[in-house]
Amino acid sequence: MNNYIINPAVAGIENYWDVKASHRLQWVGLQDAPVTTYFTVQGPLHHGDYDRETATSFHAIGKNPRGEAYWRNYTSAEPHAGVGFTVINDVTGPLNRFAIYGTYAYHLSLDPHTSLSVGLSAGVTQLSLNADKLNFATTVDPAVSGAGILSKLKPDISAGAWLYSKDYFVGLAFQQIIPEQIAFASNTVALQNGKLLPHTFLSAGYRMMISEDVSFLPSVLVRYINPLPIGFDLNAKFQYQDLLWAGASYRYQDGFAAMVGVNLNNNINIGYSYDITTSQLNTVSKGTHEILIGFLIGNKYGDWCPRNLW
């Protein structure tokens, strides 16, 4: 529901500032399951206005402003920069990850209908371990008793590219480019066997008009984290005018998800997803819930939904 959280090249892709906040509860019912909260804001710098022929997205009752006529007149944006900011807090049992990133991206028009952007995110990640919550075989382990919270601060860099037009997109992103050992230490305990590994993401999607009011948007996300096997998500999304959308996703050998979103007006949108795993975790969890709220700021054309993202 937020491509920017994966690929920094997305920053500044629309003609407004996009603000999103999300809260995700994973494997509800399982003790110490992951809980993720994030906040993102990204938008353009010195973005040239759309041609007047394509600036037809003002919402009108009974008419789809994103119908076939709109897409026939689609033109790529003028070259411009984009910036963004991300805050993520991820808690899994005794382990907490808090990260802050800044992003810079540049969008270049390749032809009248196609654009390419490249982006870089840089920031810091604080990894914290509450040693008092570690569960050992003995009731009280003197090696860690009273160790409290151990923390480590590390630099983090992500990079990406995004090729997009009115009909398709292709994205490539690299996260945690700097691999680093995780070593927590205090006067009473030292834990040194963890490691942060680079992540690679390849994504692609296509837009098809089923009717004047309905679009079909299939997409795929492929992920690779060495030495794990390659994983992928297959996604299908249906959008009605610029008002609402619904979709489903299959994650290879892991589970299914259902998603829905509604654009309340040209300033606020809400999305929700429910995941159910097909692994053995299904016997002890009640699925995964994520709620997202978005705000469109500086939206001069009154867009109810994104022009270049889906």
The answer as to whether 301 is a domain residue is no
Length of the chain: 310
Q: 188: domain range?
A: 3-213
What is the count of structural domains for the chain?
1
- Give the pLDDT confidence score for residue 53 in this predicted structure: 46
Q: Which of 230, 291, 231 is nearest to 255 (CA)?
A: 231
- Give the pLDDT confidence score for residue 193 in this predicted structure: 54
- Give the pLDDT confidence score for residue 194 in this predicted structure: 62
DSSP-derived secondary structure for 161-186: EEEEESSEEEEEEEES-S-EEEEEE-
- Give the pLDDT confidence score for residue 139 in this predicted structure: 53
Q: Which two tokens stand for residue 182?
A: 């995780």
- Give the pLDDT confidence score for residue 55 in this predicted structure: 47
- Give the pLDDT confidence score for residue 284 in this predicted structure: 82
The answer as to whether 186 is a domain residue is yes
Where the chain has pLDDT below 70, the residues are: 47-62, 135-147, 183-195
The answer as to whether 232 is a domain residue is no
- Give the pLDDT confidence score for residue 203 in this predicted structure: 98
The answer as to whether 263 is a domain residue is no
The answer as to whether 276 is a domain residue is no
The answer as to whether 295 is a domain residue is no
The answer as to whether 305 is a domain residue is no
User: Cis before residue 227, ω within 30 degrees of 0?
Assistant: yes
Report the distance separating Cα 46 and Cα 38, nearest Å: 27
Query: Tens digit of pLDDT for each residue in 143-162?
Result: 555 567 788 899 999 999 99
Q: What stretches of 49-104 show up as alpha helix (H) in DSSP?
A: 68-72
Q: In 3-state terms, what secondary structure has residue 90? A: strand
The answer as to whether 55 is a domain residue is yes
Query: Tens digit of pLDDT for each residue in 5-42?
Result: 999 999 999 999 999 999 999 999 888 899 999 999 99
